A and B are shown apart, each in its own frame.
Chain A
Amino acid sequence: MIDLSSFSISKAYNLLAAGEISAVEITRAYIGQIEKKDRETHAYLEVFEDALAQAERAQKKIEKGEASFLTGIPFAIKDNILIKGRRVGAGSKILENFTAPYDATAIKKLKDQGAVFLGRTNMDEFAMGASTENSAYGPTKNPFDASRVPGGSSGGSAAAVAMNGALVALGSDTGGSIRQPASFCGCIGLKPTYGAVSRHGLISMASSFDQIGPITKTVGDTEIVFDAIKGIDFMDSTSCYVEASKKALTTFRVGVPRKLLEIDGMHPDVRKNFEESLQKFRSLGFEIKDIDLPTTTHALAVYYIIVPAEVSSNLARFDGVKYGFKKEGKDLLEDYLLTRREGFGSEVRRRIMLGTYVLSAGYYDSYYGKANAVRSLIKADFNRVLADVDVVVTPTTPTPAFLLGEKVNDPLAMYLADVFTVPANIAGLPAISLPSGFSESDGVKLPLGIQCVGRAFEEKTLFQVGKQFLGE
């Protein structure tokens, strides 16, 4: 019997290659776990009926000696990444009857290796949220404590991996949507450099921020999945993979933006755990330096101007004409008005309207124009600092997983959950969240995470730091 809690891609690969286990047995073990756990957790919106058939095909590939690392590896896929011929809906009612007409490039690459897709995972509608409570299909629960959120927006993907309901998962990250749920669920989450992974076939939220990335239990697995899905793609003109320098460092310089950590609402356990993590880096021989990123104090404000602006443009396509849900009105205009009111949830409607506001005549320069100017300063700030240090480290989130319902009626409080993750998206830099310990609340252990932000296209550095930090 496989011990799913300590399973990894390289273990699976070795066992499969040696014929000690079959791809079908692996997939069956995960499906068994989903049946046991997902009634409560609700990580999955759909478990694919043909998962075992996919595993059988992978097994044939292995027997023919055509296996690669991901052959027969069971994946959970966030509900905003297209798999040809399957339902995909971005957690929204407005896409309730939509079937993907093509494969996302990341999916195509996994398929080519013979990966198994177990199902599609729950998410905040159109990836807008930090708790998965904004899903039109009900919230996902945190596998560590069902009264708490798994984080979001890739909450279903993180919960699926945490409950051993998938070996690895794909999520998407616009402002922390991979790293924050990974942190809340005790997993590893990578937001790649902007452009490193093709966005073709990812349902757009904010196109200058969105990236697909893995959620896993080991840094080694994150690296394998990232290497499989990265690369330039003809279908995404912003994809631009640059091979980083190959110099093999063993110790790293770690920058700590002390000022950024002086925010209100930081949980004392997070602060304590962060200092312990720095101590761990010191004991690994890493150099710890205080750094200053003065403009990042504006990062969240910049984010919540540019993202709604891009959202209002990207989501204009959902009007009940070309695809998805439609609500009939008395004329075409009323079709639009009613379809979008009933098809979108409240956070999505709010962001579209906010984006409409910041882009409208008279406000464009003072909001959108100004935010873009500050965005380039934030990027310059990071570039300056990352000339002196190899990674910038912060906690991933200011608190451990919060309670269901705690922030759902206060959009601004929900936005603040992203305060440490948003800067990397604004600057387009790669960032990884690593499990760093636990906070204990009423006898329940809640995972905590630290985040490392690296130089553009230097994911490799993040993997090396992560492996040392976690003792892999």
Chain B
Amino acid sequence: MIDKSDIDKLSSLARIAVSPDEKEALSGEIDAILSYVSQIKGASSGAGGEGVLAHTNVLREDTHPHETGIFTEAILKEAPAVKNGFIYVKKILPL
């Protein structure tokens, strides 16, 4: 069973604030979904383990970086707060 304290924990891990009246609804909904998906606990998983998608990592040589700064303007343009050419965030450590 998922209770309100579980929702508090998930809210903090997922970095999503949850209002008190949402907690009740969310715990019910997540509980219903989890009880549905829990059916797989009883599924035989055989050998398993083998990767599903026949894909391997595709790596490139770590060379030829793009020219410094060519994307900076386009990227900074999307940021909600910018200061002196940097993305601006609030201080984490108190002075």
- B15 in the interface (beta carbon within 8 A): yes
Greatest chain A CB density within 10 A among B32, B48, B51, B81 is at: B48
Given A238-B53, A298-B39, A324-B80: A304 and B16 within 8 A (CB)?
A: no
Q: How far is the CB of B87 from chain A (nearest CB, A)?
A: 6
Q: Across the interface, which residues of A come within 8 angstroms of B37, CB to CB?
A: 301-302, 304-305, 367, 371
The residue of chain A having its C-beta at the shortest distance from the C-beta of B91 within the complex is A332
Across the interface, A332 reaches (CB within 8 A) one of B6, B18, B50, B92, namely B92
Interface residues of A in 180-209 (CB under 8 A from B): 194-195, 208
- A137 in the interface (beta carbon within 8 A): no
Q: Across the interface, which residues of A come within 8 angstroms of B1, CB to CB?
A: none
Q: Is the CB of A340 within 8 A of B16?
A: yes
In which size bucket is the chain A interface?
35 or more
- A356 in the interface (beta carbon within 8 A): yes
- A354 in the interface (beta carbon within 8 A): yes
The residue of chain A having its C-beta at the shortest distance from the C-beta of B39 within the complex is A301
Q: Is the CB of A305 within 8 A of B55?
A: no
Q: How far is the CB of A207 from chain B (nearest CB, A)?
A: 11
Q: Is the CB of A353 within 8 A of B78?
A: no
Q: Is the CB of B43 within 8 A of A370?
A: yes
Query: Interface segment, A59-67, A75-83, A372-380?
Result: A372-380
Q: Is the CB of A195 within 8 A of B55?
A: yes
Given A298-B40, A332-B90, A370-B43: A195 and B15 within 8 A (CB)?
A: no
- B13 in the interface (beta carbon within 8 A): yes
Distance A316 CA – B16 CA, assembled complex (angstroms) = 10
Q: How far is the CB of B30 from chain A (nearest CB, A)?
A: 6
Q: Is the CB of A356 within 8 A of B32?
A: no
Q: Is the CB of B87 within 8 A of A376?
A: no
Q: Is the CB of A373 within 8 A of B49?
A: yes
Q: Across the interface, which residues of B come within 8 angstroms of A379, CB to CB?
A: 52
Across the interface, A356 reaches (CB within 8 A) one of B10, B18, B39, B78, namely B10
Q: Is the CB of B32 within 8 A of A376?
A: no
Q: How far is the CB of A93 from chain B (nearest CB, A)?
A: 14
Question: What is the number of contacts between chain A and chain B, taking CB atoms within 8 Å?
Answer: 150
Across the interface, B40 reaches (CB within 8 A) one of A194, A322, A360, A371, namely A371
Q: Is the CB of A237 within 8 A of B52?
A: no
Q: Mark B61-87, 1 if CB is under 8 A from A, else 0.
A: 000000000010011011111000001
- B24 in the interface (beta carbon within 8 A): no
Distance A302 CA – B37 CA, assembled complex (angstroms) = 7
Distance A373 CA – B17 CA, assembled complex (angstroms) = 33
Q: Across the interface, which residues of A come within 8 angstroms of B78, CB to CB?
A: 98-99, 101, 322-324
Across the interface, A336 reaches (CB within 8 A) one of B10, B15, B40, B49, namely B15
Q: Is the CB of B29 within 8 A of A305?
A: no
Q: How far is the CB of A146 from chain B (nearest CB, A)?
A: 29
Q: Mark A340-360, 1 if CB is under 8 A from B, else 0.
A: 110010000110111011001
Q: Is the CB of A412 within 8 A of B13?
A: no
Q: Is the CB of B52 within 8 A of A376?
A: yes
Q: Across the interface, which residues of A come within 8 angstroms of B58, CB to CB?
A: 237
The residue of chain B having its C-beta at the shortest distance from the C-beta of A413 within the complex is B32
Q: Across the interface, which residues of B come within 8 angstroms of A334, CB to CB?
A: 17
Distance A334 CA – B55 CA, assembled complex (angstroms) = 39
Q: Is the CB of A350 within 8 A of B26?
A: yes
- B57 in the interface (beta carbon within 8 A): yes
Q: Is the CB of B52 within 8 A of A372?
A: yes
B residues at A contact (CB < 8 Å): 2, 6-7, 10-11, 13-18, 26, 29-30, 32-34, 36-41, 43-46, 48-53, 55, 57-59, 71, 74-75, 77-81, 87, 89-92
- Report 9 cross-chain contacts, Cβ distance below 8 Å, ordered by A residue: A98-B78, A302-B40, A305-B37, A321-B80, A349-B18, A357-B2, A372-B48, A376-B48, A377-B46
Q: A195-B53, A374-B45 are in contact. List 13 more A-B contacts (CB 8 A).
A: A101-B75, A101-B78, A298-B39, A301-B36, A302-B37, A341-B18, A350-B30, A353-B10, A357-B6, A360-B10, A375-B52, A376-B49, A412-B33
A residues at B contact (CB < 8 Å): 98-99, 101, 194-195, 208, 237-238, 240, 295, 298, 300-302, 304-305, 312, 316, 319-326, 331-338, 340-341, 344, 349-350, 352-354, 356-357, 360, 366-367, 370-377, 379, 411-412, 415, 426-428
